[in-house]
Every structure is written in structure tokens, then in C-alpha cells.
Amino acid sequence: MPSEVLWYIIPREGAYPWEPEGRRPVDLGYLQQLAGTVERLGYSGALLATDLHDVWPLGSALAAATGPRFQPLLAVHPGLIAPTLLAKMALTFDTLFGGRLRFNVVNGSTRALREYGLNVEHDERYELSAEYWSLVKRLTAGEVFDHKGRYYELTDAGASFRDLKPVQTPHVPLWFGGSSPAGIEMAAQHVDVYLTWGEPPAQLKEKLDRVRERAAAHGRTLRIGLRLHLIVRDTEEQAWAAADRLLDVTSEATYARQLGGRADEDGVGWQRQFRQHGGRVPARARELETHPNLWPGMSLFRPGPGTAVVGSTAQVVARLQEYEALGVDTFILSGNPLLEEAYRVAETVLPALGVRP
């Protein structure tokens, strides 16, 4: 039985939101309704991912409209906000909303971060991230200190908000995923929950063994979380038909935008995912099945994690339990559209995982 199951919330959503015609209008009332539904259905919160819209206004609006069970997991790139300011924002959020904040550490890509003036190559991103989050952890634990490192020099950090007492101990939790040696080392030393995208279980086991080995070398243990899309239907045939439809409604322009020039993306997680389909758009979804019911095809038309579990309720539950057997204790799930699929998954899959509204 998993310790947590989270859902996913993003403003641009719908049946196939990567296409304009498959996208609902961005509406705060609807998003607050979605968050309230996620809470009532038994999920322990939701990942608020990086997209066109910033996560801080969204997280604040959803936290204000929900109760203590809804814990927002905010995706944050280290280095884009000064660590002292980020800590102040986090402590303010927790003070106002009862200690519900969690950080999803996103290291991004060299190319994407240049837009924000952050020019660091792959391994250096993780070196910066390690220093950055070590500072944020100390600051959100209520410390006041001086620091002189490679990327940051702080004097009397935290003094201006020393009366803003931490709500969570020992600090605001860090969730993070990285598949490169540098990313795994950063996780082993600094984070609380190691996140990974969906991969065939044998392949994933090898990575998780490395993560645990490196964490143990630092005298630490990590929780393990898995990010997956679900396409669950009454029958396996219906589920694969739904996956086929996603391929059919996706435009050539979207495929070109998502796949063009990305085979050399410097994120190792993306490279591992890309190798599962090689940038090939199949005639039928099941041509890309890499393990029973495991489909990497979502990454053909959306950024970020792109693996879906496709099948009947019993098959989807079996695949999730297969991941649990590897030590995964936390799932971040999604399906399109987010509201309708939150209900479907809660009514079919979650009871088998021991989750009740």
C-alpha cells in the first residue's frame, strides 16, 4: 500500500491540451473545483507543474480553496529566485496555509534556463542545485547564518524574517528526480523523496538500486516516488483505443515541435525516455508498448514525463503494484481531462491501493 497518491494540476488542461481544440479555457474557479475534488477523492495533494503559468499564484489560490489534506507540490527551478527570498515565500505560504507546502525540485535543461539568464551546463546545474537547496533547507528550518560558497554568499541570511517560525520540521520537504550520476548524487545528499518517470520495471530497478546505494553512502534513506499517466478503461481494448485517439488528434506541428531537435536534449531522464520510442510516431499506440501495459507515447506530444500505464482496471493496478514491489511508496498520477480522470482513477484504481475518500 503506497504512503501517498497525488494527482496533477495544470492550468492548460483538457482532453488533449497540447492542441488548442483539446484544451479548456484557463479558469480559476474550475481549477479550485478540481483541487477540491482531488482532496475529497482521497489524493493527498497534487503536483503543480511548470508550464505557461507560474506555480506560486496557482498554489496559493488552490491552497486557499482547500483544506488540510490538499498539499501542493510546487515545481521550482533552483537559481531563478534567490534562496533567501524563496525561503521567505515558503515560510509565508506555510504560515498562511497550515504547513502544506512541498517543493518539486526541477533542474530543467541548459537550453530552457538560458531564457531566464541562468547559463550553467548539465553537471553544473546539479552543483548549483545542491548548494541552493542546502541553503533553502536551513532557512526554512528557521536558521540565521552566514554562508560563502561557489554560487552564493549570504550575510545574516534569515534575520529579516526570524520571527516567521517554521511550521514544518525539519524543513519544507524536497522532492526531486534526476537520472544522471550528478542528479542521483544530488538526490542522495539533499532530498527527501526521489522521483522518477515511468520505465520498464527491470530498467527502473537498476536506477533505484544506484539511488539507494548513493543515499546509504551518505547515511540517508529516501522515499521513492513515481510519476505516471494512466489510461484506464473497463477493458484493455478500450484503453488502447483511447491511446490511439491521442495519436490521431495530435497535429503534425505538435509532433515536430515536441520531437524536433530534442534527441540531443541534455537531460538524462529525457534521453532515457526518448530511447523508448526513438522519436517514431506509430500508426497504433501499442506498437510502442515497452512492458505489459507500459506506453512511452505521451512524450511524443507533451513535455516532461511521458509514460502511461494503459489497460483495464485490473491491469493498471497490477502494474502499480509491480512498481510498489520495487520500493515505490508514492505515486503522482494523472489522466486527461484531469477532473474526469481524477474521478475515474479514484473510483477504480485507488481502492485497490488502499486509498479511500
Does 251 score more than 90 pLDDT?
yes
The C-alpha atoms of residue 305 and residue 334 are separated, in whole angstroms, by 11
pLDDT at 318: 97
Amino acid at 229: H
pLDDT at 120: 75
pTM comes to: 0.93
Residue partners of 313: CB distance under 8 A and separation at least 6: 232, 234, 348, 349, 352
pLDDT at 264: 47
- Residue environment code for 20-30, b if the CB has 16+ CB neighbours within 10 A, otherwise e: eebbbeeeeee
Q: What cell was used for 256?
A: 515536430
pLDDT at 170: 96
Does 243 score more than 70 pLDDT?
yes
How close are the terminal C-alpha atoms of the chain, in Å?
15
Query: Which residue is listed with cell 507543474?
Result: 49
Does 2 score more than 80 pLDDT?
no
pLDDT at 305: 85
- Write the CA distances from 126 to 161, 209, 220, integer angstroms: 28, 20, 19
Give percent above pLDDT 70 in the chain: 94
What mean pLDDT, rounded, does the chain reach? 92
